Structure 1
Amino acid sequence: MSKKRGLSAEEKKIRMLEIFHNSKDFFQLKELEKIAPKEKGITMQSVKEVVQNLVDDHLVDSEKIGTSIYFWSFPSKAKNAKKRKLHDLQNEVQECSKKLKKAEDLIGQESIGREQCQERTEVLATLECLEKHEEKLKRELQKYRDSDPEYIAQLKTEIQDLKAAANRWTENIYILKSYIKNAFQMENDVIEQSFNIPADLDYIEI
């Protein structure tokens, strides 16, 4: 025997609305928690959530009177809500239609002069050929870059800058070694071993 399927969220909302519309009365939550399971098969634990969803959807009204909160909904409420939803959707469709028409007009304008013809095909073929030739020339030029005097001068400047930077770090390491040696009474070889400093560390000639 198959297990009975529980109510979907939409089915619960429809059945809960039937309670309001059939009675045309006002209810507190605790009253609905008694009525809904008995008459509509909605579990008591889910009544609060279903009612709140209906309030959020503007299908049920609620008002706090004194210390109690009352809920109500009349058939006209649901009808008006559907009308508002239909109106919003119609406006959205109209807006999308305007955007589509604008896009189609723009495509039409941009397509002028781009119709497929023999001349255009030949021009595009020539363009593709020239682009390939340009790429080939760039690759050839790259081969001779190593012999370019300006490029070589640039490399020399960069190498000098890197050597100077390396020597600054070497100087910083020597200063740090001296500080550790004096502050903690450690030998050079112990410091070098502890901080992975090469024993042959030295300045680079510039």
Structure 2
Amino acid sequence: MSKRKGLSVEEKRRRMMEFFFEKKDFFQLKELERQCQKEKGITSMSVKEILTSLVDDGMVDTDKIGTSVYFWAFPSKASQNRKRKIDDLEARLADAESKKLNLMDAVEKAKVGKEESDDRDEILSRLSEMQGEKTRMEAELERYRECDPDVIEELKQETKIAKEAGNRWTDNIFSTKSWIKKKFCFEESVINKQFEIPEDLDYLE
């Protein structure tokens, strides 16, 4: 069996937001380190780093009460924040698209006669910058969409369906192995080796 690959930063961020949305409560850092590891598979050592990034992005709220620091995030506010961010990014993206078209038009006009000029070089440079900005904003826009409650719910449903399908196939394998043992009196280890079935095959929890 190969070693299980660790979670990416974005996956940890998504799972932590999912945790907040499900609990709808206030937590201290120690509580998050314990519960996120237990319920979401986020190692306790990385909880603080992921939490800080979410606070910096305005996705998780925090406040100090007395000597204790609390963290929270509710779906309603998260949706509003994401909508505002997405609207802002989409407006900036539309503006970038408009500027890009204008620059492309200017470039085409500058090609007439194929004359080399400082203006042409400047326009090409600005066009390249705008294309890079457009790519960056599209990536940031997609990042916020990944934390949308609807997307998270869809992922949960897909995971549930995949898990049920996996368990059905596991059940079929166990049934087939049982039939072979009764029919041909083979040892289970022989069957596993012959059909390359892992010894630790089991149902998904």
Q: TM-score, normalised by structure 1?
A: 0.50
Structure 1 distance, partners of 2:18, 2:102, is 45
The residue number in structure 2 matching 1:11 is 11
Structure 2 distance, partners of 1:61, 1:20, is 11
Alpha carbons of 1:5 and 1:111: their partners in 2 closer, same or farther (altered >3 Å)? closer
* Bigger Cα displacement from structure 2, 77-86 vs 101-110: 101-110
The residue number in structure 2 matching 1:83 is 83
Alpha carbons of 1:97 and 1:64: their partners in 2 closer, same or farther (altered >3 Å)? same
Structure 2 unaligned blocks of 5 or more: 115-205
User: Deviations for 1:39-66, whole angstroms, at most 9, x for unmatched residues?
Assistant: 1111111111111111112110000111
The residue number in structure 1 matching 2:118 is none
CA contact (8 A) 1:63 1:70 kept: yes
> 1:110 Cα deviation (Å)?
4.4
The residue number in structure 2 matching 1:43 is 43
CA contact (8 A) 1:61 1:71 kept: yes
CA contact (8 A) 1:60 1:77 kept: no
Answer 1 or 2: higher relative contact order, Cα 8 Å, separation at least 6: 2
The residue number in structure 1 matching 2:55 is 55
Q: Could you say what secondary structure the match of 2:53 adopts? A: helix
Structure 2 distance, partners of 1:54, 1:6, is 19
Structure 2 distance, partners of 1:51, 1:73, is 11
Q: Could you say what secondary structure the match of 1:27 adopts? A: coil
The residue number in structure 1 matching 2:2 is 2
> 1:73 Cα deviation (Å)?
0.3
Alpha carbons of 1:105 and 1:41: their partners in 2 closer, same or farther (altered >3 Å)? closer
CA contact (8 A) 1:59 1:78 kept: yes
> 1:98 Cα deviation (Å)?
2.5
- Aligned identity (percent) is 52
CA contact (8 A) 1:12 1:50 kept: yes
Query: What aligned pairs does 1:163-174 form with structure 2 within 5 A after superposition?
Result: none
* Bigger Cα displacement from structure 2, 51-60 vs 93-102: 93-102
User: Deviations for 1:10-47, whole angstroms, at most 9, x for unmatched residues?
Assistant: 11111111221111100011111111111111111111
The residue number in structure 1 matching 2:153 is none
Structure 2 distance, partners of 1:89, 1:8, is 24
Structure 2 distance, partners of 1:73, 1:20, is 6
> 1:83 Cα deviation (Å)?
1.2
Are 1:20 and 2:29 matched, yes or no? no
Structure 1 unaligned blocks of 5 or more: 116-206
The residue number in structure 2 matching 1:184 is none
Structure 1 distance, partners of 2:54, 2:38, is 20
Are 1:92 and 2:86 matched, yes or no? no
Q: Name the amino acid aligned to 2:60.
A: V
> 1:81 Cα deviation (Å)?
2.7
In the alignment of these two chains, the number of paired residues is 114
CA RMSD, 1 decimal: 2.0
> 1:70 Cα deviation (Å)?
0.4
Structure 2 distance, partners of 1:108, 1:3, is 54
Q: Which has the larger radius of gyration?
A: 1
User: Deviations for 1:106-136, whole angstroms, at most 9, x for unmatched residues?
Assistant: 3455466x49xxxxxxxxxxxxxxxxxxxxx
Q: Name the amino acid aligned to 1:7.
A: L
